[in-house]
Amino acid sequence: MAGVLALLVGLALWLRNRRKSAAERERERRLAINEMGRITDGILVEADAETGDEQTTSGLLFYRYNAKGLEYSAAQDISGLVHLTPPGICSPGVPVQVKYHPQRPSDSIILCEQWSGLPSEARRPVRGR
């Protein structure tokens, strides 16, 4: 009986240590959308991030895009990806490319480890959108 109990405790500890962190689950979500996602045009609405600055602790980018006839508003935390962004591109009104999940268009990204929908250099904001 003690052997079974020890086995169950060992199994529970192994499963607990094997769980993925929230950051790892988010990374896998970004990469999955990158792999299968469709691309559409979007626009930055607000930026709570300084691109190119690895000291940033809050890196939210808010954006809008249209997919399948509906307009979506979304945000992506890029605090772990700031090193992949060119400086000075996080102004409201800047056009971006958005990748979204084909079956769940509200699930989207504008940046991941293997792809960027951000402009390669600072562009002037689009007016009237």
46: in domain? yes
Sign (positive/negative) of CA torsion 52, 114, 43, 24? negative
Host domain of residue 56: 22-129
How many domains, in total, are found in the chain?
1
Going from the C-alpha of 74 to that of each of 20, 66, 77, 121, the distances in angstroms are 24, 11, 10, 22
Q: Is a pLDDT exceeding 70 seen at residue 126? A: no
Give per-residue pLDDT as tens, 76-95: 999 889 888 877 777 899 99
Look at 33 and 16; give whichever has higher pLDDT.
Answer: 33
Q: What is the pTM of this model?
A: 0.74
- Look at residue 16 and tell me if it is in a domain: no
Q: Which is higher by pLDDT, 126 or 68?
A: 68
Per-residue pLDDT tens digits for 62-78: 999 999 999 999 999 99
**Inside any domain, residue 78:** yes
Per the domain annotation, does 17 fall within a domain? no
Within-domain flag for 43 = yes
Per-residue pLDDT averaged across 33-49, rounded? 93
In a domain, 5, yes or no: no
Q: Does residue 1 fall inside a structural domain? A: no
Q: In angstroms, what CA-CA distances link 98 with 11, 24, 95?
A: 42, 21, 10
**Total Cβ atoms within 10 A of residue 42:** 26
Q: Has residue 9 been placed in a domain?
A: no
